[in-house]
Amino acid sequence: MPQFVANGKRIVDVHLQGDSFRARAGSMVAYQGTVAFKRAPIGGGEGIRGAMKRGLAGEGLELMECTGHGVVHLAVDAAYVEIVQLTGDKLMVESSSLLAYDTHLTTGIAFHGLRGLSGGQGVATTTISGAGTIALLSFGGPLVALQVSPQHPLTVDPDAYVGHLGNLQQTFVTDISWRMMIGQGSGEAFSLHFTGTGVVWIQPEER
């Protein structure tokens, strides 16, 4: 299984010993050893139907598969990186925030309703499940993890949302008042509301 190691705050080093992982296309900034790179347009486990769902939802995910022996250094636009370990659970993540994951994991797509399809983030998200390692991107600063509990639900701006993990229920709420306060009163105003138990990641910079 490939080993993901943070190299500072903005680079992830992936160590390969004859295995493989998938990463955002174009994210390789350097590598050492004997590593082969090939295009991987469809995430593991999705198939053609999954690719069609991505196209309809606008949740694009262009990947490359890296296989061999050596170390691959990954980075995207000086964004901060965060390494997440899955132990048989399922992560929901915006495809634009996904840097890399090992091929033992399975990807898919989850729809969260029709509200806001014209707006984008949070309507359809990428799912990653199984046991393995994921590297996430955060723009504008380090990723922020916010805990959610039955006593403390959470409402998030969809443009800052990165992903979530745990036994959480996501719904859409119309909340025009706060957008009017910051001059974003036009377009479809909605927020992402989370209840249950788990963690939600956000980034400091809005998309």
Q: Could you write out the DSSP letters of every residue in 104-131?
A: TSEEEEEE--STTTTT-TTSEEEEEEEE
User: For residue 108, what are the CA distances in angstroms to 17, 66, 92?
Assistant: 27, 20, 9
- For residue 175, pLDDT over 80 is answered with no
The full set of domains in the chain, from first to last, is: 3-202 (3.60.160.10)
The whole-angstrom separation of Cα 15 and Cα 4 is 7
**What is the tens place of the pLDDT at every residue in 128-174?**
999 999 999 999 999 999 999 999 999 999 899 999 999 999 988 87
Dihedral sign computed on CA atoms, order 40, 46, 50, 54: negative
- For residue 178, pLDDT over 60 is answered with no
Helix-strand-coil split of the chain, %, nearest 5: 10, 55, 35
What pLDDT is stored for residue 132 in this prediction? 96
**What is the tens place of the pLDDT at every residue in 79-120?**
999 999 999 999 999 989 999 999 999 988 887 654 444 444
**What is the tens place of the pLDDT at every residue in 7-58?**
999 999 999 999 999 999 999 999 999 999 999 865 444 444 444 444 444 4
pTM to 2 decimal places: 0.83
What pLDDT is stored for residue 121 in this prediction? 47
What pLDDT is stored for residue 25 in this prediction? 94
Bridge partners, residue 35, by sequence: 68
The whole-angstrom separation of Cα 162 and Cα 141 is 13
Residue 73, CB-side half-sphere exposure with 13 Å CA sphere: 11
